[in-house]
A and B are shown apart, each in its own frame.
Chain A
């Protein structure tokens, strides 16, 4: 296996506060890597630095060995990297199908070509497949703003996979999702990983979800990597227990 994503000595500071402090890791193709850590440990900042939402203060990000540090999120997305955010990010005034078409349309030809092309950018069938895959069939023509929170969360995740990304960074996909929906979400993510050979990096607070989904886990505390390994090893690691529970 080869590393699809390599992060080397990534740093991000806000004034005197160091949010990400020399984080290094790599993700192999087809892997599901979980990133956990207490609140404020720098997980989302790390994502934002990798994905170009924030300019890192130092370090290097490589995609398939190619340096992409500081690349704009839209350009990274066109290279096959997609993401979800910690807070729900959908377009409430568009229908479920339009949200999905939007999520894929910028990968279809040139900007001028899209203007002259079909309204759905030729993506209706792909959007319908994704709608079916995430079991949102009965909601395809509903405005996304009218959906329940759990359904919106599924749509949010579905949008990240609409363009068939090679690498998806999911920031708390299970946040605020009820138990039934959570099982469905985990099952869908596993299916995408198996069928499309997509690679995931998942930030999550829900330990049960992340331990069941991920093959390897990276633990952050105060902006640094304090542990790394398979879920069972991480669960037993005293540094991880200390980071979450403090000294006894």
Chain B
């Protein structure tokens, strides 16, 4: 256990140092992609809370990213300062996410997936059709980037560090949350809601909180996305982004703290690295994802967990395939 923690600490420190120096030597497009990774990781962390920890499937995360982005874009282009729009975007998504959680109290699994999918489509249609508010297909352009203590975040490098700082804060807050009694209640809700209920866990309230927190982080991600791209239109917030975010969570390791970070590397950065294969890069990417999911449905961190916890693997195998899958999923 101590060795695992030491190794994890070293990897974490190395990854942090790498993220600090990574943009040096990169062209603006490279820095843009790295910033996009940080922004999408925040949205994926939110989805991981809802899906990975609390076990509530959601195909609506793109809608929340979109709502956060549109609120920030609309208000900042009307002259509002960034911070109130940022808070408003996150808080609005938290409230809407809470409301979206109510269907989860009645339906589960693929039925819930369809409810959230319908919500994503509804929001997308509002973005596209309510031109008076959202600009329709013409979108909202010239979204300004914020200033922090008088320092402009206009340059790609400054905005990268701005987003990286947000990612660090969101990560720290999430780490604290999942290690609190709430995190334990979320895992109980995912693993066995009936038993959790019999132990006094108010599964109804925790389900709503899980949806609201995940949605709120989607809104925060959107509030950073808008000033990153500086022009928003409905297209990026369609179902494809929700599926991509779901892919990030599942690929990295659903229910693992670092799952979204790894998943976002694969979903955001890998397609860029595979561009040298020209027309084949998407096919190669799809093939890679299929192979990974076939051999490790618990994602990249599931592989690492299985390799470093042989006793759990044996116990899981003895318990049968369903428990084995759950047993290797780890909520650490």
Contact = CB atoms under 8 A, between A and B. Distances in A.
A197 B199 CA distance: 20
Nearest to A79: B200
Secondary structure of the B contact surface, majority rule? helix
For the side of the interface on B, what is the size category? Answer: 20 to 34
B198 A77 contact: yes
B192 A146 contact: no
B275 interface: no
Given A146-B312, A159-B199, A101 B184 contact: yes
The interface size bin for chain A is: 35 or more
A74 B197 contact: yes
A176 interface: no
B195 A89 contact: yes
A93 B184 CA distance: 10
A227 interface: no
Contact of A92 (B179, B181, B311, B327): B327
A72 B187 contact: no
Interface stretch (A14-22, A62-70, A112-120, A217-225): A112-120
Contacts of B131: none
Interface in A80-109: 82-83, 85, 89-94, 98, 101-103, 105-108
A159 B195 CA distance: 10
Contacts of B196: 102
Contacts of B1: 141
Contacts of A105: 181, 184-185
Given A89-B192, A145-B319, A146-B312, A102 B179 contact: no
Interface stretch (B3-11, B83-91, B201-209): B201-209
Given A91-B188, A94-B184, A105-B184, A163 B319 contact: no
Given A111-B205, A145-B327, A91 B187 contact: yes
B200 A93 contact: no
Contacts of A101: 181, 184
Contact of A114 (B181, B187, B197, B199): B181
B136 to A, nearest CB: 41
B182 interface: yes
Contacts of A115: 177, 180-182
Contacts of B316: 145
B35 to A, nearest CB: 31
Nearest to A152: B319
Interface in A108-158: 108, 111, 114-115, 117, 119, 121, 141, 143, 145-146
A143 B182 contact: no
B219 interface: no
B181 A107 contact: no
Contacts of A38: none
B185 A94 contact: no
B331 A77 contact: no
A91 B192 contact: yes
A92 B185 CA distance: 14
Contacts of B177: 115
Interface in B10-32: none
A78 B195 CA distance: 14
A184 B330 CA distance: 31
A131 to B, nearest CB: 17
B191 A92 contact: yes
B130 interface: no
Contacts of A53: 194, 198
Contacts of A106: 185, 199-202
A82 B197 CA distance: 10
Contacts of A163: 199-200
A106 B184 CA distance: 11
A74 B326 contact: no
B315 interface: yes
A111 B197 CA distance: 14
Contacts of A83: 198
B233 interface: no
A51 interface: yes
Most buried by B among A91, A98, A117: A91
Task: Count chain B CB atoms within 10 A of each CB in A51, A73, A82, A83 and give the residue with the most.
Answer: A73
Contacts of A51: 198
A82 B202 CA distance: 14
Contact of A93 (B182, B201, B205, B326): B326
Given A73-B198, A119-B181, A92 B323 contact: yes
Contacts of B315: 143, 145-146
A92 B326 contact: yes
Given A106-B201, A145-B326, 6 more contacts: A73-B197, A74-B197, A89-B192, A90-B192, A102-B181, A115-B177
15 contacts: A53-B198, A74-B202, A85-B194, A90-B195, A94-B184, A94-B188, A102-B199, A105-B184, A105-B185, A106-B200, A111-B205, A117-B181, A119-B180, A121-B181, A145-B315
